[in-house]
Amino acid sequence: MRISRLIAIATTVLGIGGCTDSRDIAGPTAARREVAASPAQQIDAVGEFDALVDFSTLTLTPRGRNCLLQVNGRLVFDGTLEGEAIGQTTALVFAPCGDVATNPPGTFRDVFKSELVFEGTVDGEPAQANVLYMGRVQPGGQIEGRLIFSKGVQGRLEVEAQVAVGGEYSGSVIVN
């Protein structure tokens, strides 16, 4: 009894399916044609960038004996990456805010994080991505840091730079 019911259901489904126009059925072949995946490619990336800081947006907030600094700005890339990354930097400067306010950037050690959005090209191809730029600033302003790309471009680039000036990047990224 159970087998005859299954045969009847299968016959009905096949009969109904045979009455439709095959162009309306979204089968596996049709889905593959519509969603053509482009292969991700790893690209060696080297170049330079300028750091442009908007000091009119600078805020300093005491954190114990240290100072929390926030400022807007942008990185302008040249080399394998061409374009701009715009966003905000937050840094914990290991000095009182009064000293931070009266001395040039890079006078004191700090740890920083910049949350940016990149628009431009990677190896000549249009690209957009989120960028996290983070690192440490040594007295004198030397930065050892990294740029971490996500959402559109993935990868990690090592950075050697000077605070509020710019520097060089190298590593590899994958463009999706």
pLDDT higher than 70, residue 5: no
* End-to-end Cα separation, the chain, in angstroms: 54
Ramachandran bin of 52, using left for φ above 0, alpha for ψ from -120 to 50, beta for the remaining angles: beta
* pLDDT computed for residue 136 by the predictor: 98
- pLDDT tens across 103-161, in order? 999 999 999 999 999 999 999 999 999 999 999 999 999 999 999 999 999 999 999 99
- Candidates 37, 45, 39; CA nearest to 124 is 45
Tokens coding 74: 């942008």
Tokens at 166, concatenated: 């710019």
Structure-block tokens of residue 160: 């050697």
- Assign 41 a pLDDT band (cuts: 50, 70, 90): confident
| pTM above threshold 0.75 | yes
Q: Tokens 């190896």 map to which residue?
A: 123
Residue 25 clears pLDDT 70, i.e. is over it: no
Res 116: pLDDT: 98
Instruction: Kindly report the number of other CB atoms within 10 A of residue 103's CB atom.
Output: 12
Looking at residue 139, what is its pLDDT? 97
132 CA to centre of own chain? 6
